[in-house]
Structure 1
Amino acid sequence: MLFQNTARWALPFLLFDACLSRELRPIRPSSGNGNSKRAAKSMLDLQSAETFLWGAEDAADAAMANLTVSMPGSGENILNMEKFDGMLTSVQCNNDSVAMTFTDDETFAYAQQVWDWVNGADNHSFVMVAGAGDCGDNANRKPFVVNSMAFDEEANKATLSAAWSNWQTIAHTYDLEVGSVNQDSLARRDIDKDLSLDFNHDLPFSFAIGVGNKEARIACTNCSTAGSFDMQFKISQKLFIPTGASFTVKPKDVSAIAQIKLSGSVDVTDALTKEFEIVKIPISALTIPGILDFGPFLTVSVGAGLTAVSLTAGITTGITAKLDNAAILEFDLLDPEKNSFSGWDPQVDTVDMKVDASISGGVAVFLKPAIELKAEALGKGFEFGINMKVPNVEAKLTAIASPQGACPNPGDPKTTLGVNAAITIGGNLNVAATVSGKSDPLFTLQLASIAKPIAAICFPFGDPVNANGTEAAPEKPAEEAAAKYMARSHGRQIAGF
């Protein structure tokens, strides 16, 4: 049952407006090197495949993208102008042509020899990709399709009959990787890194529960997440038919802590549960114009539940959770039967639990981080959701009153009142994936689900009991005696931890 209208809630929402988009910039091939004249003439050879790299401008940023475009047909090829623009003195780009003037007779003669292939048959064509700035003020790479060309030997000039195109049209066969890039020598220039999602966030919150004219408050005394998630997205197609799509996630020093205090005075007869979204963070998306849109999104919710609670004063409880760095999740988006994952069971431990006055019933608290990812590449889109209910603690509390001593803890003074706590800690992790624009999921997976019962503990408070088992005359009010006990026992770990 949700909280009824008689329950009053107040929560300070945290809404972070992070940098919403980062555009990856072209990384020139090492042989291009601006206007270098040392580039070998072989860079003018038509290719059956070309690899293009993009990366963030900040060297400390881990985002990278690698696109390999293949032209397997006998009548098609591809060429990257970045590899030989150092051999050119000028480039003029128009809507239907590109004119290039070469630095010397020798390189022009070589280009004429290898490029004249396109004039040899009506079905011959090749894709020429102009690098950023090669056509003047173009900030991004621009592909166009060359069907024929003419040569001016006196001016060392080649004029290509070319139609401007787009990546989705020309890249009928490709392999795209976002994240770790380590395929060949082009990629070994200090760019072997992962796309990383920051998970370091402080999560303060507080809300009130009102029933009648009484009120209790749930507040986080220490709630936070730490670490990061390394991710990699790959997609491939051949002749416009998808041949591969995968997504890999690995935690890196990921942990979370939720330490909650419930205080006040309230009686709840019905079961009350509530979940609040306290953090909503659009992680800076990655874009390559015309090629890639990758948008991570992080939300963190907090949940609390009370079951038939009678509360006077308060209880503090909490839990920590850690993920193993060896954990890995590999989605196969085209064949979910090949999905694999391991190592995601969180390591959970309690934070000190304290009860400083009378409470009975059930209390549950949890954090619920969720990572949402949207990846669209060359017209193909997927959406992923990683939902974590970590950490999660549930306590069943029973108030005890006994003139002979409420708690049997050895070494503790016997008191007339106490609270017995039976505690279960754990966490759940689930993932799901869908094709963009469709409602039915491709698959759902449960990565982990643990519920770990902990040995019960009794918290004494109230009036002391004499050695003969009779109630002693109270020297101080019960509340002051409870406070004195809690001060003495501060820092004690729950039995069994």
Structure 2
Amino acid sequence: MRTSFSSILFSLWLLCLGVLAHDESCGCTVKYIVVEMPSQTVAAQTKPPTVTSVQTKPTNIRSKPNQTTVRASSTSAHHNTTATFLPKPPAKVDLSNPENAVPKKNISMSYGDVEKPRNQTFPALNTTAPKGAIDMDLVMNHPAVVLDHIDAIVSVECTADSVKVQFGKSAAFEKAIDTWSDDEPFILITNNMGNCKTDIGQAFYLVDGVTTDKGDKTITCHAAEQELADIAETCEMSFTSIPATKLTKRLTLNPSLSLNFGTGLERDTVLFQEQPWVTIKAEKAEFSSTVSFSGRAKYNFWRFKMEHLYFDLDTHFSADVALAADVAAAWSRSILYDPDTLTYTLVEVPGILSLGPGLSFAVGVDVDTSAAVAVRAGAGIAIPAANVHLDFLDSGKNAATGWEPQYTSYANITESVEVGLNASASLTVQLTFKLLGGLVDLSSGLTATPEFVNKFTLDAAQSAHASNDGAGVNLLDAEKVAPATTPGSELAAVNEPKDCGVSFKSDFIFDLEGFATKWWKANLYHVEVPITDVSAWLNTTPYAASLLEPLAGGQANFTYRAHLINPLNDGTAEVVVKHGEPYMARHPANAVTVNRCDVEGEILSELSTNPIDVAQSGSITYTVRTTTSHAYDAETKTLVLEYLPNVVDLRTYSLNHFPFPTPEYLRKPAHELGKVLAIYMVKFHDMAREIVQNSLKQKHTQQLSGFNRAIDSSNDMQRLKHWINFDWMIDRVDQFPGILLEAKDTLHLVKNMALKELSDPSADLTLIHGDYHPQNILLEDARLEPATTRTLYVIDWENSQVGVPSLDHGGMLGEMYVLWKYKHIDAGLWMLQGYAEGLGPQTEDAAWRVALQVGVHLLSFGTLASGWGTTEEVEDMARLARDVIVKAWTRDRSWFDKSDFACLFAGTPQD
């Protein structure tokens, strides 16, 4: 998300003064708590901030009907969760060091090792107790000793006016004798020691005298228990990776409009009913969310003010909502199902700190129809990695990233009417923060609301009537609408529906709203993007569809499985419809050239006319081809492709069918699979090489087609390819400075070389696939057998561009190696070895360029394999990628001969 709006996040966060009577034991101290904020004018407090908006040719839709908010009741008691963090020694403290017995004004403490939650709610929420840590640095008004940081202490006994400490090791005891003085008061801090454990698990004592017994190695401290606020000058805390409760809820919405947490939603549960006119059902309402946060707080007890306070909230949110409505007449209503409860996970350090984020969800449905209709719509929304940095005291440091949602949607309709059926889901994340029992008390947060606005019609008319004791009503007459209540009746079709095509327009709208308790609320981010308008062109072709279902996978395009109204002459009843817009389908805020659609259409047409033949011999045979292209419309950027049932991409296939360890009988099939993929791409490069060389030497004055169209449109895709390979490679230096800093100069040399070779007349330039990875290879989702005949489909040619062949080979080889490196799948290494063999005889320069590109891919992409490896494994990948790049750049053949990549140089001469 852009910094233009993130800078105004929570700029009015703390607009209050707190007054607290403190230290009830003496009853004489009143502290006025001031939380300082940047100065604000009245206008600044009331005027909403400028909304950041991304909007592209929105669909004209009806105005939203008036909203009815239903506060859903829960059938089960609502519980928050409290996890108590216990004191523990900080990782940086050496407990064996005798110097820990010396009183110091600056001390460090840490909290973690969560106790079992008091209300037993973690199992019910499908999670374990939170992990993470709270580290606290204190500046005391007297020197202090933390007894838990001294492993030489044998026992501690506490009374109302003394603390007796017995030592085992002489070194620490001698340090204590020398530094625990009668002349200067000091502070003892006990955590879970002896009988000193208080209700809050920690006690602070002000010592004004000591008695030493060298024979027993004991020191008796004459002391009185104190409150932290009375003995500390400043308190600075950092919160590290503390997750909220992971919530996975299915919402049950019943006919009485109640919303129940923790209960499965039965299919076709009735949400709303006005008999006989309206029935609305929820086929699905599922939410999943996790929130974690880190941050830092510094409080000055002398000045009674917060000096630092900021948090980083990371959240993942996904929702799937499926709605169905049967309406017997014109009807319009907007309903919001809102449980109006926040589920909190509170992390507590008793007596010191209480903090934690809360989560709440709501489901909305808008129905607006001009006549009788049966309609279905659904939405899938995911915010995979959103972050907000909230600086309570300096709004200029606020930032928000990752709020661009990913989404899918679908809709279907049965009648010739204009209909709007909109599905929405909202997530609210709210953070509570209390310091020292309420000294500072805050509550603020964010609400993210993704919504799908659907407008669609059916091209053919169908008459129907609703009967009530035999009285029919013409539902196509918009002047006749349903009364508020009518006794039971039924909706029946008078005649059979005709063949018709569905016309579907859908907009995606996403809003991010920030709030600070009751003082401030504003829309921080707004994006409105038309998702699709492809059906109008389809209805003029043999590919008119009765239903468009979104297909998973891919980031840039809208891809659907289309059910044809009339099968094609060969019996085909389903096709794939791929539609492009000048932005990424899953990330609409990101622009991308639509020339990619024309390129793919031309490439597929050319390869259909001149297919690449990959001949094999032996018992294991593969054929490799593209999917059949039925039609392409350059005006709407819509491609109609062959639909392949029961296929998966090669990476998914490998994870599902190649176990660890991979059985030996699969070595040959895996090896040959890699080999044939290399042979296919080598032949494609050979086919296009002469065309590219000739094209680069002449200027085109006429409409381009075939490979020439891809060649002429290369600039945009070359920039993208260079960015995600070589710029990302350089970015990894900041991500892994300890590993990559020494190789930074070499990485820059590689980046510059890759840029120059695109304009070098002597470079081996040809047309490349541009995205040649296992994710773009489809095959049947069935086991490979030793005697195997299998077709492999190469898809997604939209990134095709002029480049060097190693850009394709390095990507495929790198992805195969990732399977071996992270998942230890032997077949990944076997496919890599087969691919290297399939490259055939190469010059030494070509082999080194392929090896170099493998390293670049492993560094740029292999270190981004989210969920594939541990932190240590990702760092190992960065080290390996560094070595591959450096050794390939310096042409260190001996290093490669001892590595997993020795096969890349088979057949090339040894220096």
Q: 1:68–1:197: structure 2 CA closer, same or farther, 3 Å change rule? A: same
Q: CA deviation at 1:65?
A: 1.4
Q: Deviations over 1:401-435 (max 9, x none)?
A: 579xxxxxxxxxx947666433212322222234x
Instruction: Provide the rounded CA distance (Å) in 1 between the counterparts of 2:381 and 2:286.
Output: 11
Q: Give the distance between the partners of 1:10 and 1:431, measured in 2 at CA.
A: 22
Aligned partner of 2:96: which letter? A
The superposition leaves residues 36-85 of structure 1 with CA deviations (integer Å, 9 ceiling, x where unpaired) of xx9332221112222212112589742321111123x6xx2121011226
Note closer, same or farther for the CA distance 1:458–1:492 as it changes in structure 2 (3 Å cut).
Answer: farther
Q: CA deviation at 1:331?
A: 0.4
Q: Say if 2:108 is the partner of 1:51.
A: yes
**1:235 CA drift (Å):** 0.9
Q: 2: CA distance between counterparts of 1:46 and 1:366?
A: 59
TM-score by length of 2: 0.42
Q: Following TM superposition, by how much is the alpha carbon of 1:368 offset from its aligned partner in structure 2, in angstroms?
A: 1.1
Change (3 A) 1:273 1:209: same
Counterparts of 2:99 and 2:333, CA distance in 1: 73
Give yes or no for the alignment of 1:344 onto 2:403.
yes
Amino acid at match of 2:278: A
- The answer to whether the 8 Å contact 1:345/1:448 transfers is no
Amino acid of the structure 2 residue aligned with 1:334: L
Q: Which residue of 2 aligns with 1:217?
A: 279
**Aligned to 2:425, which of 367, 375, 379?**
367
State the secondary structure of the residue aligned to 2:519: coil
Read off the aligned partner of 1:84 and give its amino acid letter.
I
- 1:1-16 alignment to 2 at 5 Å? 2=66, 13=74
Aligned to 2:761: none
Verify the 8 A CA contact 1:320 1:349 in the aligned structure 2.
Answer: yes
- Give the Cα separation in 1 of the matches to 2:277 and 2:229: 60
Contiguous gaps of at least 5 residues in structure 2 = 1-64, 117-127, 254-268, 463-496, 540-562, 586-911
Of 310, 317, 328 in structure 1, the residue corresponding to residue 387 of structure 2 is: 328
1:42 is paired with a residue whose SS is helix
Q: Whole-Å Cα distance in 2 between the matches of residues 486 and 92 of structure 1? A: 88
What is the 5 A alignment of 1:398-409?
A: 398=457
The one-letter code of the counterpart of 1:171 is A
Alignment partners' CA distance in 2, 1:130 and 1:246: 29
Distance (whole Å) between structure 2 residues aligned to residue 256 and residue 65 of structure 1: 31
Partner of 2:535: 457
Structure 1: distance between partners of 2:75 and 2:532:
33
Counterpart residue identity of residue 505, structure 2: A
Matched, 1:91 2:156: yes
C-alpha distance in structure 2 between counterparts of 1:27 and 1:66, whole Å:
10
Which one of 222, 226, 241 corresponds to residue 165 of structure 1? 226
Please give the residue correspondences for 1:280-299 in structure 2 after superposition, counting only pairs within 5 Å.
280=341, 282-299=343-360
1:23-172 to structure 2, matched below 5 A, reads 23-29=84-90, 39-55=96-112, 56-57=114-115, 61-71=130-140, 76-84=142-150, 86-88=152-154, 90-103=155-168, 107-116=172-181, 119-120=182-183, 124-138=184-198, 140-153=201-214, 156-172=217-233
- 1:248 positional shift: 0.6
- Separation in 1, partners of 2:284, 2:75: 15
> How far apart are 1:224 and its partner, in Å?
2.1
Shift of 1:153: 4.9
Q: CA–CA distance in 1 between the matches of 2:367 and 2:340?
A: 23
Question: Could you tell me which amino acid in structure 1 is paired with residue 161 of structure 2?
Answer: D
Q: Deviations over 1:98-154 (max 9, x none)?
A: 2324447664443121111xx33xxx4332111113335546111122233343456
Note the alpha carbon deviations across 1:221-274, whole angstroms, 9 max, x for none.
Answer: 23323352221132112334311101111234x432222212242422xx5222
CA distance in 1, matches of 2:512, 2:379: 16
In 2: Cα distance, 1:421 partner to 1:445 partner: 29
CA distance 1:102–1:86, shift in 2 (3 Å)? closer
Structure 1 counterpart of 2:320, one-letter code: I
Q: Secondary structure at the match of 1:39?
A: coil
SS, match of residue 310 in structure 1: coil
Q: CA deviation at 1:166?
A: 2.3
Between the aligned partners of 1:262 and 1:486, the Cα distance in structure 2 is: 27
Q: Give 1:300 deviation, angstroms.
A: 0.9
Match of 1:389 in 2: 449
Q: 1:146 to 1:358 in 2, by over 3 A?
A: farther
Q: Within 5 Å, give how 1:433-472 maps onto structure 2.
A: 433-434=516-517, 439-441=518-520, 444=522, 446-455=524-533, 457=535
The 2-side partners of 1:61 and 1:53 are apart by 15
- Which of the residues 309, 313, 328 maps onto 1:249? 313
* Structure with more strand by fraction: 1
Q: Paired residue for 1:22? A: 83
Residues 95 and 27 from structure 1, CA distance in 2 versus in 1: closer, same or farther, beyond 3 angstroms? same
**What's the secondary structure of 1:247's corresponding residue?**
strand
Greater percentage in helix: 2
Aligned equivalent of 2:239, options 168, 174, 178:
178
In structure 1, the residue matched to 2:294 is: 232
Alpha-carbon offset, residue 385 of structure 1: 1.8
Structure with higher RCO (Cα < 8 A, 6+ apart): 1
Structure 2 counterpart of 1:365, which letter?
A
Code of the residue aligned with 1:431 in structure 2: it is G
Distance in 2 of aligned mates of 1:303 and 1:219:
12
SS of alignment partner, residue 344 of structure 1 = coil
What percentage of residue pairs aligned between the two structures are identical? 16
How far does residue 455 in structure 1 lie from its aligned partner after superposition?
0.7
Is 1:355 the counterpart of 2:413 in the alignment?
yes
State the one-letter code of the partner of 1:335: D
User: Which residue of structure 1 lines up, in the alignment, with residue 243 of structure 2?
Assistant: 195
Q: Structure 2: how far apart are the matches of 1:105 and 1:208?
A: 74
SS at match of 1:334: coil
User: Any conservation in 1 of the 2:501–2:565 contact (CA below 8 Å)?
Assistant: no
Worse overlay, 148-157 or 165-174: 148-157
Per-residue CA distance 1:183-235 (angstroms, 9 max, x = gap): xxxxxxxxxxx424424333343555455x53322222233233522211321
Query: 1:478-497 to 2 correspondence within 5 Å?
Result: none
For 1:67, give the aligned amino acid: M
Match of 1:474 in 2: none
Look up the equivalent residue of 2:145 and give its one-letter code.
L
Decide which of 282, 287, 302 is 2:363's aligned counterpart. Answer: 302
AA aligned to 1:100 is V
CA gap 1:278/1:493 in 2 versus in 1, 3 angstroms:
farther
Alignment partners' CA distance in 2, 1:365 and 1:333:
35
Hey, what's the Cα distance between the residues in 2 that align with 1:65 and 1:10? 37
| Deviation (angstroms), 1:372 | 2.0
* SS across alignment from 2:193: coil
> 1:452, 1:134 → 2: CA distance?
67
Q: Distance in 2 between matches of 1:328 and 1:145?
A: 43
Question: Which amino acid in structure 1 is aligned with residue 148 of structure 2?
Answer: E
- One-letter amino acid of the counterpart of residue 274, structure 1: I
Give the distance between the partners of 2:577 and 2:286, measured in 1 at CA. 21
Matched residue SS, 1:302: strand
| Aligned residue identity for 2:158 | C
Distance 1:291 1:486 in 2: 71
Cα distance in 2, alignment partners of residues 491 and 171 from structure 1: 71
Residue 2 of structure 1 deviates from its aligned partner by 4.5
In structure 2, distance between residues paired with 1:196 and 1:172: 31
Q: What are the residue-to-residue correspondences of 1:266-281 with 2, within 5 Å?
A: 266-268=329-331, 271-278=332-339, 280=341
